[in-house]
A and B are shown apart, each in its own frame.
Chain A
């Protein structure tokens, strides 16, 4: 029995428009723009975030497309050096702060954390809306900077270039990132307080779904790291305006002090980007292998370990920066230690499939893509943690490939997997699984085609942030640019079939995947107060024992159950 096509052909005689109107839910509570822009419902704020970060994903993606166009030829002939520098800076700033960091926490996290712990909303709904407006505020500053002429400092803003030598609109972008930082802090604060105080009866700490564990650890990082970035950017901006500061070597300051403060935030920030993805993958693996997660407690401790040790390793960004040799050795050891919990999680995901009943619906394909690409990304991180190799590989395309494998191959795949997994719950509609699976595979191939050649370029020694390069690097660059075209097209697909499903998709039952978890015990889409009757958790999560027949997913989706 080939997995039935989700979108069964419309039974003849029933015109498509006669599809039953959606039942009463949070979506129908108010349909005016005002009701959306002044909502304090965590589910609506999740959708506001989803829309805004998608817009920024494609702006950042556009910048990347121009860069790949430029890099197809050794000579810098498509765009000028100045424009290329502004392109990669904008690509970095937008993708890091306006897409990756909010991507899963602010969308799936906002929507699902209250549902998964059986609460009616987050602890501070008004703060949650304020968080989105801070995001919009930060975005406005960044857009102004782009329109006014862009910034050419790189998303890392290293002093003394960003303070004394760059004559572009650095202050606008610093203001934008400063403001959007507080959006992260408010979201993190909201999640931590909610998970501590508002769990439904029976929802003990070690019965929390791993997605909630991941949101908790991510929020802890956001709350503990972002304030350091906020003050560092203020010091940088003041130094740029006043010409005096603690990073200026001519005044006895130290540019490395900026790098320490910046990376103290920015390395934990990369764990903010990957931990929620790990949470999503755990949920999807359990559901589509019909197995409980292998070693639930180990996976939970591993999430916390990654978050904590993640704060101790930032020095591996500075092995050749003039940092002392002893600091390099210390940070290298700690960086190897932080790789252990990530490795354990990959092995535990693999073991989850053991004796399972695995189905390959779209979410599962994205999750498998995550595990595969995150394994390669994580392994190449070991090359960069090894001091002697980092000397050769840092600041080359090896580093670019490494973090894109984890950010794009990992986090974005898991984000799409999560969107596909919870789409029926969020929108109350089903989508075309055939198209979704095709998109997942296309993205996987396009991604590898784009970024694997960059590993080889990095080993050969091609430095990053070059718009012109020696001719011997051209073949691999052309391959990478070709791959980027496939990737760009691949990302348009979900927009199309998911968009289509919004209006024409069949209504989704409460639990289309027959998954465990409190969010599946309410209707799809859920009412404004989430639960008509307060749920209670009576057994450990991922108790897929009784639903092990595999037929049950299909029946659940047909709504015959």
Chain B
């Protein structure tokens, strides 16, 4: 029963993997790390889940306003961003694979690439915010909308900024983690790195998962 099997059996000729004092062996340590991260992801599911629940309640109450408001979101940037984040998940998976195969230089490269794509996502997102600002779609600041749907649209954009804001914060943490491990992969002996990169990868994929569900909720309410 060992998680991340690829990470624990150090290939011949390398010193046995360093094991923290509270663990019996590397397998138990890897198992704990992966269980710990998945449990943390369960808390994140519930953390974002509250926002999706609030979105569902508000959308059920103002269906037309949400449709109207959704038409004002920038579909091109939204779709591009989704593609960007899916690609970053792909490169992160490659990074985890490379680290597992002890090809640390490739892993460092892929991790940097993933972080770069993440930054690209953030850049696109910020330009979108700027466009939203120019389109008078930012609640509290300069919100103006067709009076028929003003109330519902205000709630829509309120949830839009809260959810994408929370996602952006989590994405930035992901970028920081990816860069840290890129640096370590480039600099240090593999040791427990393959297993740690895999755990970091789990977190990154979760950030992508959130966006996979956010994208249809925010951009595709009604485009016909």
A112 within 8 A of B: no
- Tell whether, in the assembled complex, residue B158 and residue A246 are in contact, meaning their CB atoms are under 8 Å apart: yes
A253 and B39 alpha carbons, distance in the complex (Å) = 32
- Tell whether, in the assembled complex, residue B155 and residue A231 are in contact, meaning their CB atoms are under 8 Å apart: no
Question: Which residues of A have CB within 8 Å of B162?
Answer: 234-235, 238
- Tell whether, in the assembled complex, residue B50 and residue A193 are in contact, meaning their CB atoms are under 8 Å apart: no
B142 vs chain A, min Cβ distance (A): 13
Given contacts A227-B47, A228-B50, A261-B50, contact A193 B36 (CB under 8 A): yes
- Tell whether, in the assembled complex, residue A228 and residue B46 are in contact, meaning their CB atoms are under 8 Å apart: yes
Given contacts A244-B154, A252-B152, contact A121 B35 (CB under 8 A): no
- Tell whether, in the assembled complex, residue A197 and residue B43 are in contact, meaning their CB atoms are under 8 Å apart: no
Given contacts A246-B158, A257-B54, contact A197 B21 (CB under 8 A): no
Closest to B27 in A: A197
Name the interface residues of B10-58: CB closer than 8 Å to any CB of A: 20-24, 28, 31-32, 35-36, 39-40, 42-44, 46-51, 53-54, 57-58
Given contacts A193-B32, A230-B47, A246-B58, contact A123 B22 (CB under 8 A): yes
A196 and B23 alpha carbons, distance in the complex (Å) = 13
A496 within 8 A of B: no
- Tell whether, in the assembled complex, residue A254 and residue B28 are in contact, meaning their CB atoms are under 8 Å apart: no
A133 within 8 A of B: no
B77 vs chain A, min Cβ distance (A): 24
A242 within 8 A of B: yes
Name the interface residues of A219-268: CB closer than 8 Å to any CB of B: 223-224, 226-228, 230-232, 234-235, 238, 242-246, 251-254, 257, 261
B67 vs chain A, min Cβ distance (A): 16
- Tell whether, in the assembled complex, residue A198 and residue B28 are in contact, meaning their CB atoms are under 8 Å apart: yes
A185 within 8 A of B: yes
A252 and B58 alpha carbons, distance in the complex (Å) = 9
- Tell whether, in the assembled complex, residue A197 and residue B32 are in contact, meaning their CB atoms are under 8 Å apart: yes
- Tell whether, in the assembled complex, residue B39 and residue A223 are in contact, meaning their CB atoms are under 8 Å apart: yes
B80 vs chain A, min Cβ distance (A): 28
Chain A's interface size range is: 35 or more
- Tell whether, in the assembled complex, residue A226 and residue B21 are in contact, meaning their CB atoms are under 8 Å apart: no
A231 and B40 alpha carbons, distance in the complex (Å) = 15
A437 and B144 alpha carbons, distance in the complex (Å) = 70
Which one of B40, B51, B62 has the greatest number of beta carbons of chain A within 10 Å? B40
A234 and B46 alpha carbons, distance in the complex (Å) = 14
Question: Which residues of A have CB within 8 Å of B152?
Answer: 252
Question: Which residues of A have CB within 8 Å of B48?
Answer: 231
A548 vs chain B, min Cβ distance (A): 35
A120 within 8 A of B: yes
A142 vs chain B, min Cβ distance (A): 22
Q: Mark B60-95, 1 if CB is under 8 A from A, else 0.
A: 011000000000000000000000000000000000
B151 within 8 A of A: yes
- Tell whether, in the assembled complex, residue A193 and residue B39 are in contact, meaning their CB atoms are under 8 Å apart: yes
A440 and B23 alpha carbons, distance in the complex (Å) = 40
B159 within 8 A of A: yes
A243 and B32 alpha carbons, distance in the complex (Å) = 44
A482 within 8 A of B: no
From the candidates B22, B40, B155, name the one contacting A252 in the complex (CB within 8 A): B155
- Tell whether, in the assembled complex, residue A193 and residue B35 are in contact, meaning their CB atoms are under 8 Å apart: yes
From the candidates B39, B40, B42, B159, name the one contacting A246 in the complex (CB within 8 A): B159
The B contact surface, by secondary structure, is helix
B4 vs chain A, min Cβ distance (A): 13
A235 and B53 alpha carbons, distance in the complex (Å) = 12
Which one of B36, B43, B47 has the greatest number of beta carbons of chain A within 10 Å? B43
Question: Which residues of B have CB within 8 Å of A192?
Answer: 35, 39
Closest to B139 in A: A244
B38 vs chain A, min Cβ distance (A): 10
- Tell whether, in the assembled complex, residue B43 and residue A185 are in contact, meaning their CB atoms are under 8 Å apart: yes
A110 vs chain B, min Cβ distance (A): 13
Question: How many A-B contacts at CB < 8 Å in the complex?
Answer: 97
A119 and B20 alpha carbons, distance in the complex (Å) = 13
Name the interface residues of B169-189: CB closer than 8 Å to any CB of A: none
Given contacts A189-B40, A252-B62, contact A244 B54 (CB under 8 A): no
From the candidates A120, A197, A244, name the one contacting B140 in the complex (CB within 8 A): A244
Question: Which residues of B have CB within 8 Å of A254?
Answer: 57, 61
A119 and B24 alpha carbons, distance in the complex (Å) = 9
From the candidates B28, B42, B140, name the one contacting A243 in the complex (CB within 8 A): B140
Closest to B151 in A: A252
A438 within 8 A of B: no
B155 vs chain A, min Cβ distance (A): 6
Q: Mark A99-143, 1 if CB is under 8 A from B, else 0.
A: 000000000000000100001111111000000000000000000
Question: Which residues of B have CB within 8 Å of A198?
Answer: 22-24, 28, 32
Question: Which residues of B have CB within 8 Å of A228?
Answer: 46-47, 49-50
Question: Which residues of A have CB within 8 Å of B32?
Answer: 123-124, 193-194, 197-198
A479 vs chain B, min Cβ distance (A): 43
Question: Which residues of A have CB within 8 Å of B46?
Answer: 224, 227-228
- Tell whether, in the assembled complex, residue A231 and residue B43 are in contact, meaning their CB atoms are under 8 Å apart: no
B143 vs chain A, min Cβ distance (A): 9
- Tell whether, in the assembled complex, residue B50 and residue A224 are in contact, meaning their CB atoms are under 8 Å apart: no
A261 and B24 alpha carbons, distance in the complex (Å) = 41
Question: Which residues of B have CB within 8 Å of A261?
Answer: 50, 53
- Tell whether, in the assembled complex, residue A231 and residue B50 are in contact, meaning their CB atoms are under 8 Å apart: yes
Which one of B20, B39, B53, B62 has the greatest number of beta carbons of chain A within 10 Å? B39
Question: Which residues of B have CB within 8 Å of A114?
Answer: 22
Question: Which residues of B have CB within 8 Å of A124?
Answer: 32, 36
Closest to A224 in B: B46
A122 and B21 alpha carbons, distance in the complex (Å) = 10
- Known pairs A124-B32, A198-B32, A253-B155. 18 more at Cβ < 8 A? A114-B22, A119-B22, A123-B32, A124-B36, A192-B39, A194-B32, A198-B23, A198-B24, A198-B28, A242-B158, A243-B140, A244-B154, A246-B54, A246-B57, A254-B57, A254-B61, A257-B54, A261-B50
Please give me the 7 A-B residue pairs with the lowest Cβ-Cβ distance, nearest first. Answer: A121-B22, A231-B50, A227-B47, A227-B46, A123-B32, A227-B43, A120-B22
Name B residues whose Cβ lies closer than 8 Å to a Cβ of A: 20-24, 28, 31-32, 35-36, 39-40, 42-44, 46-51, 53-54, 57-58, 61-62, 139-140, 151-152, 154-155, 158-159, 162
Name A residues whose Cβ lies closer than 8 Å to a Cβ of B: 114, 119-125, 185, 189, 192-194, 196-198, 223-224, 226-228, 230-232, 234-235, 238, 242-246, 251-254, 257, 261, 529
17 pairs from A and B in contact (CB 8 Å cutoff): A120-B21, A120-B22, A121-B21, A121-B22, A189-B43, A193-B36, A197-B32, A198-B22, A198-B28, A226-B43, A227-B47, A227-B50, A228-B49, A231-B48, A238-B162, A244-B139, A253-B58
